Amino acid sequence: MSDEMARPGLPPEDFPGQHTRPRSPAPGEATEKLSAPVVAELVAEALAASQPPTPLAAAPAEAGEETVRLARPAGPTPTATSHNVPGAGAAAGGLQPQDDQTRPLARPVGTAGTRAAQTTRLPAVSGPPAPAVPPAQAPVASPVVARPPTASGAAAAAAAHQADGSPAAPADGPAYSRGAGGLPPEQAAPARRRWPIFVAVGVALLAVAYIVVAHLLAGNMPNGLVLSGVPVGGLGRDEALQQLEEGLQGELTAPVVLQVGDKRVELDPAAAGLRADLAASVDRYTEVSYLPQDIFSHLFGAQATNVETVVDKAALRQALTEVAPQLTTEPRPGGLHLEGIEPIRTEPATGLAPDLEASVELVADKWLAQVGPLQLPARATEPSITGKAVDEAVGLARTITGAPAAVVVGDKSLSFTPEQLAALVSFEARDGKLVPQINVERLHERVHSELPGAEVAPVDAKFVFEGGKPKLEPSVPGAKIEPDKLAAALLQAASSKSDRNARPDLVEQEAQFTTEAAEKLGIKEVIVEFSTPLTEEPQRTENIRVGSEKITGTLIKPGETFSLEESLGPVELETGFVDAGVIVDGLHSSALGGGLSQLATNTFNAGFLAGFEDIEHKPHSEYLDRYPAGREATLWTGKHDVKWQNNTEYGVLVQAGISNGEAWIKLWSTKYWEVTTNTSDRYDFVAPITRYSTDPRCEPTGAGNSGFSVTVERTRRHGQKTETQSWETRYVASDEIICGPQP
């Protein structure tokens, strides 16, 4: 028979080591499964018992309350155990089914489901008595739960017996099964609960050992470690730090060589915000670390690596921005020029420039680890003029120089050969293309010189003197070709394969000084007239005559400044001037243009008496009695000039000449200022002396005038405006000059 079959009437403890089926409940007795907490409690109590328990009296149970008791036979203690021997239970005089008031415990067999449906109880049979069992071997009573019979329990008990009188299998729980290792469930469960404890204890011991090892390894560098080429394996913290400082002393301050393409530049690490953190590099390995890779490197050796660095990326970005132009290869745009009539092309080439942001990241990461120049990431830059643009320009150049072209103005024409066109044409880059250009000045100069009559220059209005009075000659407009339009017309014609004649338009060109503008100047009357007597020296008089002719007709517009030197032009023999007497450094001599000082005195007085603003004048060093004291001037080209400014709203026309033994000057305009003058008495006299001179230019003179000072005042008025000015002049004495050494 199966080990799971038990004789009814005997409690489970009578069968040690056996898994027994629970008996069928007595009629009217309820059967149900125990909850997991109750089962756990019962198992614990059973395992804790070391002696056979004494019978327990069941306390009365309240309605619906479960009670736990140990079931023992009501008669004598069993003395024998029956292993599925028929009739053993009855012969032993144990509990009979009708005396059993307990219900079996229902236990799960496994995850596959219950086996309640597979259990049956065997009916009691008669037989010989079982052998006696010593009291010491009596099994422990199994716990059962008793519940008062209910109507439903009675029905269940009745249903538990089959028609043939044999007990039916209990319907409310599976039979017991064996535990691990063949132990009954009461002993197998604690064994299953102990193995997690063993695992936890083992893990805890390993963790403690791991921590202890990590602390023991701290303080020293891993064996075999090399940082940035410096061996520091096995050294303590301070030793490793000193070793790094000595080994990297030169590398930490050495310039970082950057390269893009074939261009290199050196970068100062300190200025670029680059530095090494040697202390952090050492602390990384000497501080306590629980990282497996750190412990592994201490135990089995570490791979070579680099020291840690600190980077100021803002400073690095600024430094790279500054050196970027030195690392940049500019793209070469395509080009075209003409040699003769043959177009010569320049092929374009892409450029190369450092990628700033990517370079910042690369230098920050590799500046100390790199061996040799650090190749920066770069980006290609495209040329502004591509090969396609060059191709188009070559085609256009061949058209321009492919045949002659001409400029046509009215009935006149000027032809240009292909070589002449090529000499005028160049190509320049504009908006991604090579655009042909014509030299505007050279073209216009050639048309103007080789196409006479094509352009007519305008004539300015001017004043001339007829019968001693000014007469206005009106302006005449001109006709000209605008240079820019001429160049555009010729380029358009030369770029055509059909009509290669340029026909620029003539435009009227107005005179710079028109008749209308001249009439507004108010040249209508003499506002000032002044004269001085001539000497008996004809060369001197000739220079005054020539000078007077040159300044006659000079027009000074409002706000302009009259300059005697500019009006005269170059004082040369070729311009009509001759040598005459002059005073140089107090010595009487002769020079080209001598006598023009009298013209200077006349022009100064004309401006002075007209009320014009005195800009420049230089009195003679000696007083000459043919001039008014304090109101005279000298002239020396490039050194002394006579200048006054027209401070009126009218124009001023100069007229000068000689007549009746005098040099005279007139100013024509519209009167503006009312002028009065006053000359003081002479003062601070100085007597002449005798001087000797060995200068080859020396001319002897007798004793002349004494030296003195004089002050001249001028008051000018216009409407409510009145101004007074004064000039003080100091003359030296006219000494007696003896040519030769002093005796």
Question: Stretch 198-219: mean pLDDT, rounded?
Answer: 77
109 closest CA partner among 175, 172, 205, 186: 175
pLDDT at 201: 84
Residue-averaged pLDDT of the chain: 79
| Average of per-residue pLDDT across 94-108 | 46
Mean pLDDT of 16-24: 41
Quote the pLDDT of residue 25.
44
Q: What is the pLDDT of residue 285?
A: 81
Give pLDDT tens digits for 615-657.
Answer: 999 999 989 999 999 999 999 989 999 999 999 999 999 999 9
Lowest-pLDDT choice from 28-32, 200-204, 291-295, 625-629? 28-32
My answer on whether 534 and 466 are in the same domain is no
Q: Is 458's pLDDT higher than 90? A: yes
CATH number for the domain that contains residue 491: 3.10.20
- Identify the pLDDT of residue 552: 97
- Identify the CA nearest to 403 among candidates 425, 416, 418: 418
For 367-388, letters b (16+ CB in 10 Å) and e give bbebeeebebebeeeebbbeee
Mean pLDDT of 561-575: 95
Give yes or no for residue 13 having a pLDDT over 70.
no
Is residue 262 in some structural domain? no
Per-residue pLDDT at 92: 39
Q: Is residue 140 pLDDT above 50, yes or no?
A: no
Regarding whether 436 and 533 lie in a shared domain, the answer is no
Residue 268 domain-assigned (yes or no) = no
What domain count does the chain have? 3
Last residue of a domain, one of 146, 177, 208: 177
Residue 299 pLDDT greater than 50, yes or no: yes
Task: Supply angle C-alpha 618, 620, 621, rounded to 5.
Answer: 115
**Is the same domain home to 456 and 570?**
no
Residue 282 pLDDT: 82
**Is 143 exposed, middle or buried, given 0-12, 13-18 or 19+ CB atoms closer than 10 A?**
buried
Asked if residue 469 and residue 574 are part of one domain, the reply reads no
Domain that holds residue 143: 1-177
- Check residue 190 and give its pLDDT: 67
Phi and psi at residue 8, in whole multiples of 5°?
A: -70, 150
Percent of the chain with pLDDT over 70: 72
- Judge whether residue 26 has pLDDT over 60: no
Residues 606 and 685 in one domain: yes
Q: How far apart are CA 460 and CA 559, in angstroms?
A: 20
Average pLDDT on 677-705 reads 87
When mean pLDDT is compared across 183-197, 277-291, 351-365, 700-714, the lowest value belongs to 183-197
Q: Is 595 part of a structural domain of the chain? A: yes
- Domain endpoint, select from 485, 518, 551: 518
Cβ atoms of 611 and 716 closer than 8 Å: yes
- Mean pLDDT for 535-547 is 95
Do residues 578 and 719 both lie within one domain? yes
348: Cα within 13 Å, side-chain hemisphere: 20
Check whether residue 480 and residue 527 sit in a common domain.
Answer: no
User: Are both 661 and 535 inside the same structural domain?
Assistant: yes
Between 66-80, 187-201, 265-279, the lowest mean confidence (pLDDT) is in 66-80
150, 154, 160, 164 alpha-carbon torsion, rounded to 10°: 170
What is d(CA 666, CA 525) in angstroms, rounded to the nearest whole number? 10
Pair (705, 634) in one structural domain: yes
Whether pLDDT at 424 is above 60: yes
More confident residue, 659 or 49: 659
Neighbours of 345 (CB within 10 A): 17
AA letter at 538: P
Bridge-based pairing of strands 226-227 and 230-231 is antiparallel
The size of the chain, in residues, is: 743
| Strand, helix or coil for residue 497 | coil
